[in-house]
Structure formats: structure tokens, C-alpha cells
Amino acid sequence: MMRKKMRKAVAMIELIFALVIMGIVMMSAPMLIGSASSGNLVAIQQEAIAASASELGMILTRDWDESGTDETAENPILLVTNGDSALDMTLAPDGNSSGRRAGTPVTSSRKSFSSISSTERFATLKSAFETESDADDIDDFDTDTISLTGTRYGMGDLADTTISIATAVSYLRDSPSAGTYDSTTLTLNNPFDNNVTGTSNIKSITAQTTSTNLDTSIKLQAFSCNIGTYTLKMRSF
């Protein structure tokens, strides 16, 4: 008597399901790879933006102008050649005027001259900007370029070591587009599109960031105003 031995086999329906699943996986692979690459690019962009913002923040901590770095001058508000007339100073070396911008308290040291030498102080022309090793004022960062280098982190982390940041400093138009500084309301259009010759009361700092890992450059801008700075006092105990 002959007996038939039953063997395990793959049903046709199971084979079809397996082929469908494999097809889905194969079709999804390029999208998954693309998504991972896009995520890496976003991380690199964020790193470049953070580096630019950090550089701008550091520059903004410096004195507004080279002429205002002398501690004996009481960190004055500087005279400018092409600013809005409403922001002009009344000169004081003759002793007949305060030498302060309108609205500035008489007790304030924010004036346009040194009380020690009675010397008027003017903002530095862009043509006279020069890079100095001490980098104590915003002007020193004009046409400056820094590069971020170092060692990449361990597996799973990103560190773009090819970032380059070029900075530029210029004067901006400080007059309102509508109204005046004496008006109750005024309009000031985007000042970053209005560079001026001579000197004004607003300086623009631009950080142009590039990287070999990016297909575009990232541009951040900030501004700093001619308002003088406080002089810190020391007390002995």
C-alpha cells in the first residue's frame, strides 16, 4: 500500500504578499535615503546660521566706532557727516551749548566731545576703516573673513568644518521715509537697502556665510546705532 507524504509548501497567496512587501520596501528606499540627506542638509544650514548669528552677536558687543574707544572721551555720541539733521548735536567746545543730542539729560556723559580735552569727535569714514588686532570696535570687522575648522565628531553627529564667514560694515540712511523724528508717527523703510556715503548714525553689519556643503550662501544682517555707551565705574572697598 502506497502512502503519500505531505510536504510544507508556500501558498501562492503568501508568495504574492511577500513580493508586494518587497516591492514597497524597494520603492521606499530612495525616499528614505533622500529624506536622510535632506535632514543632513537642514542640520548643516542650521549650523551655518548659528555660526553667523554668533559672529554678529560678538561684533555687536564692540564699541560703535574707533573714535569712541578712548575711555577719557567718556564714550561719546559721535558727530556724523551725512545723518538726519534732527539727530545732529549742538556743539559744545565754545561752552555756549550742551553738545548733547536733543532729549539727552544734562547729567549724561553722552555728548559729542571729550569733557577733558573739549575735542569734537567724528565717526570714522568707511574709507578709513582698517582691521586691527585688538578688534575693539565694529569698524575692525569690515572685510574680515573667518573660517571654522576642526575635527568632526563621532558617528551620528554632524560638524561642518568648511564654514566661512565674511563680514562687512557700512553706514545706512537714518532719515525716516515719512514724517520726522519730531513727529508723533513716522515711517522707516528697510534701512538695509539704503547705504550712504559719508557717515550716519546707523551702521550695518553683514555676515555672508558659505560652505562647501551648501549649494547657497546665507546672509544675516544686524545694525548698531550711534547712541554712545555707558562708562563703567569702579568702587574700592
Q: Hey, what long-range contacts does 100-106 have (CB within 8 A, 24 or more apart)?
A: 101/77, 104/77
CA atoms of 148 and 171, how far apart (whole Å): 28
Q: What is each CA distance from 111 to 7, 88, 188, 229, in whole angstroms?
A: 101, 11, 25, 10
State CA 221 to chain mean position distance. Answer: 5
State CA 119 to chain mean position distance. Answer: 33
The predicted pLDDT at position 155 comes to 47
| pTM over the 0.85 mark | no
| Burial class, 176, CB count within 10 angstroms (exposed 0-12 / middle 13-18 / buried 19+) | middle
232 DSSP assignment? P
Q: Average pLDDT over the chain, rounded to whole? A: 74
177 DSSP assignment? S
The predicted pLDDT at position 222 comes to 92
219 DSSP assignment? E
Reduced to 3 states (helix: H, G, I; strand: E, B; else coil), residue 220 is: strand
Q: What is each CA distance from 228 to 61, 106, 177, 220, in whole angstroms?
A: 13, 15, 24, 24
The predicted pLDDT at position 202 comes to 92
Name 209's Cβ contacts closer than 8 Å, sequence gap at least 6. 48, 49, 51, 52, 163, 164, 165, 166, 217, 218, 219, 220
Helix, strand, coil % over all residues of the chain, rounded to 5: 30, 15, 55
Consecutive sets of 10 residues in the chain, 237 residues long: mean pLDDT of each? 56 70 67 58 79 90 82 69 78 53 61 60 87 82 82 54 88 87 79 84 92 82 82 62
The predicted pLDDT at position 206 comes to 93
**Given the DSSP bridges, would you call strands 164-172 and 218-225 parallel, antiparallel or unpaired?**
unpaired
